[in-house]
Amino acid sequence: MPPFEEISARPLDPRLLQLSGISRASVEAHHRLYQGYVAKRNEILALLDGVDLQKANQVFSDVRALKLDLTFAIGGIKNHEIYFAHLGGGGGDPDGAFRVLVERDFGSVDAWRSDLRATAMAARGWAWTAYDRDEGRLFNYLGDAQNTFPVWNATPLVALDVYEHAYFLDYQTDRASYVDAFFENLDWDAVNGWIASYSIPS
Ligand code: FE
pTM more than 0.95: yes
Q: Quote the pLDDT of residue 97.
A: 98
Give the closest residue to 83 by CA, choosing from 167, 6, 197.
167
| Cα of 181 from ligand 1 centre, angstroms | 15
In the chain, % of residues over pLDDT 90: 97
Shared domain for 108 and 75, answered yes or no, is no
Kindly give, in sequence order, each residue whose CB lies less than 8 Å from that of residue 103, ignoring residues fewer than 6 positions away: 109
Span from the CA of 163 to the centroid of ligand 1 (angstroms): 6
Distance, CA of 179 to CA of 193 (rounded, Å): 23
E strands, 64-175, in order = 126-132, 137-143, 154-161
Do the domain assignments include residue 2? no
Q: Are residues 52 and 107 in the same domain?
A: no
CA atoms within 13 A on the CB side of 100: 7
Distance 30 CA to ligand 1 centre (A): 6
Q: 84: CA distance to ligand 1 center in Å? A: 10
Tell me the pLDDT of the chain averaged across its residues: 97
- Going from the Cα of 162 to the center of ligand 1, the distance in angstroms, rounded, reads 7
In a domain, 7, yes or no: no
Please tell me the chain's helix, strand, coil percentages from 3-state DSSP, rounded to the nearest 5: 55, 15, 35
- In which band, very low, low, confident or very high, does the pLDDT at 139 lie, cut at 50, 70 and 90? very high
Residues 117 and 81 both lie in one domain: no
Are 74 and 110 contained in the same domain?
no
Q: What CATH number does residue 123 fall under?
A: 3.55.40.20
100 & 81 share domain: no
**Ligand 1 centroid to residue 54 C-alpha, Å:** 36
Q: What is the amino acid identity at position 116?
A: L
Is residue 62's pLDDT more than 70? Answer: yes
Q: Are residues 80 and 103 in the same domain?
A: no
pLDDT at residue number 202: 83
Could you tell me the pLDDT band of residue 2, with boundaries at 50, 70 and 90? low
- Distance (angstroms) between ligand 1 centre and the Cα of 167 equals 9
Instruction: Tell me, yes or no, whether 73 and 118 share the same domain.
Output: no
Question: Residue 147 C-alpha to ligand 1 middle, in angstroms?
Answer: 12
What integer pLDDT is reported at residue 1 of this predicted model? 56
Last residue of a domain, one of 66, 85, 104: 85
What integer is the mean pLDDT of 119-128? 98
Task: Give yes or no: residues 105 and 136 share one domain.
Answer: yes
58 and 119 both lie in a single domain: no
pLDDT tens-digit profile of 102-114? Answer: 999 999 999 999 9
Do 115 and 180 belong together in one domain?
yes
- Ligand 1: distance of its center to the CA of 15 in Å? 18
Q: Look at the chain and report how many structural domains it folds into.
A: 2
| Domain contains 52 | yes
